[in-house]
Chains A and B, each alone.
Chain A
Amino acid sequence: MGEELLSRVEEILLLVVWDLGDGAYGVPIRQRVGRLLGRSLSVGAVYVPLERMMAGGLLRAEEGEPTPVRGGRRKRYYRLTPRGLRALKETRRVTESLWAGKTAWKTGRA
């Protein structure tokens, strides 16, 4: 308890970063999230929440080496922090408690 709850986008991004492990930088994150959601995302739709979460201590970033295929620009790798992991767990706990007992897809009472 006490951890902040994540928005749906933040939750998805954190899970994807966690899932990608050491290879979590912009391109694979955007591609993975795009495949999950079934639509392509803009660069801003990924970097803005990633940087917001980094400022909030849920992620940390490391600069990679510049590569020719990127026009000599560096990659920015993201890693989940312990605080990000706690936020994910708390969000999952709240979501599951809300879903508990919902067995029928009906409006109103299940």
Chain B
Amino acid sequence: MGGEDGMEDRPGLRPRNVGRGPHSLLERLLRRMAGDEIAEAAWGDLEEESPALRQRYGRLAARFWISLQIVRLILQLIPRSIPASGRWFTEVTMDGWTSRRRRMVAILGAAAALPAAVIVVSGLVYIFGGNPAAEQTLDSTLFDPEGFAYRVLLHPVIVLGGLALALALNLLPLLRVQLDRQPGNLAGTLAVRLRSTHLAISAVGLGLLAVLLVYGFTENFAVVPRPPAVSTAPAAPAVGAGWTAIRPTGGERTVPLLSSQVGPAAAPVGAGWTAIRRAGQE
């Protein structure tokens, strides 16, 4: 049986030739995450069920369904692959990159940041330059709404995406992340390598990003003074000197009308208001 199916006859699980293509990659990943037994059982189940799907929806749909199921299984296995207890250590570092690869990454990152650099530099020329010839040149080349540069090179996705790519590519070789988990404790270390080229490109990228963010903020937001708080209670009417205007409300004690006690007559007040003058004590 083993020979016919390309399997080796040996006790236990045989190493299978998983072939090439995306399915083989998925199967390798699944075997790594779940172990050989579960990976083989799960994939075998899907193979067993796929003929019905193939007959109904076609070969491609059946393959896609298998891939989707495997991806979901791998995602569900991720929490299981992290040990709940005990010590483990993991490290993310690009120290293994060769200097040639790092140089390529630096060049690619610098190129990706170029559209943002162009926008920032030309903006500075407009603001601080005062050179009509330079502004005219920029208007006719970069900022012509019908031009290729304006529609493609200066598209927000290109500018911001390129900047993000430049930062990601140049920060990766600089950083080394270590996670050390012991029972009841998770310690993390973030180390920064002093690699001048990547540091310089990252710094320029961060500077460009800061300028673009500040520009975007100041261009779209303005400081607006807060309006004074408006009281819903009607203002008390003006009364004469020595008099106070009160408005009786339900349930409150009656305030005697004092207008007859003292000399000057009460000043006229609005409807619902009574003018009183305090006579020494309450």
Q: Residues of A with Cβ closer than 8 Å to B?
A: 25-27, 30, 42-45, 47-48, 51-52, 61, 63, 66-76
Q: Is B72 an interface residue (CB 8 A)?
A: yes
Nearest residue (CB) in B for A63 is: B37
State A68–B2 Cα separation when bound (angstroms).
10
Judge whether A66 and B41 touch: CB under 8 Å.
no
State A63–B13 Cα separation when bound (angstroms).
9
Nearest residue (CB) in B for A66 is: B7
Name 9 A/B residue pairs within 8 A (Cβ), A-sorted: A43-B73, A44-B42, A52-B80, A66-B44, A69-B47, A71-B44, A71-B47, A72-B5, A74-B37
List of A residues within 8 angstroms of B46 by Cβ: 43
3 nearest A-B residue pairs (beta carbon): A73-B44, A76-B41, A70-B44
Q: Is B6 an interface residue (CB 8 A)?
A: yes
Q: Is B135 an interface residue (CB 8 A)?
A: no
The number of residues on chain B lying at the interface, defined by a beta carbon within 8 Å of a beta carbon of chain A, is 32
Judge whether A44 and B37 touch: CB under 8 Å.
no
List of A residues within 8 angstroms of B5 by Cβ: 66, 68, 71-72
Q: Is B124 an interface residue (CB 8 A)?
A: no
Within 8 A of A (CB), among B1-43: 1-2, 4-7, 13-14, 16, 34, 37-38, 40-43
Among B2, B4, B73, B77, the most chain A Cβ lie within 10 Å of the Cβ of B73
Q: Residues of B with Cβ closer than 8 Å to A?
A: 1-2, 4-7, 13-14, 16, 34, 37-38, 40-49, 51, 69-70, 72-77, 80
List of B residues within 8 angstroms of A48 by Cβ: 73, 76-77, 80
Instruction: Contacts A27-B48, A66-B7 given; indicate if A47 touches B41 (C-beta within 8 A).
Output: yes
Judge whether A72 and B69 touch: CB under 8 Å.
no
Q: Quote the shortest CB–CB distance from A109 to chain B (angstroms).
A: 40
Judge whether A27 and B77 touch: CB under 8 Å.
no
State A16–B40 Cα separation when bound (angstroms).
22
Judge whether B43 and A44 touch: CB under 8 Å.
no
State A42–B14 Cα separation when bound (angstroms).
26
Judge whether A71 and B73 touch: CB under 8 Å.
no
Judge whether B40 and A74 touch: CB under 8 Å.
yes
Judge whether A47 and B48 touch: CB under 8 Å.
no
List of A residues within 8 angstroms of B77 by Cβ: 44, 48
Q: Quote the shortest CB–CB distance from B49 to chain A (angstroms).
A: 6
- A27-B48, A74-B41, A75-B45 known; 20 new pairs, CB 8 Å cut-off, are A26-B42, A26-B45, A27-B45, A27-B49, A30-B45, A44-B74, A44-B76, A45-B76, A48-B73, A51-B80, A63-B13, A66-B2, A66-B14, A68-B5, A70-B45, A71-B5, A71-B44, A72-B5, A73-B43, A74-B13
Among A30, A43, A45, A75, the most chain B Cβ lie within 10 Å of the Cβ of A43
Nearest residue (CB) in B for A71 is: B47
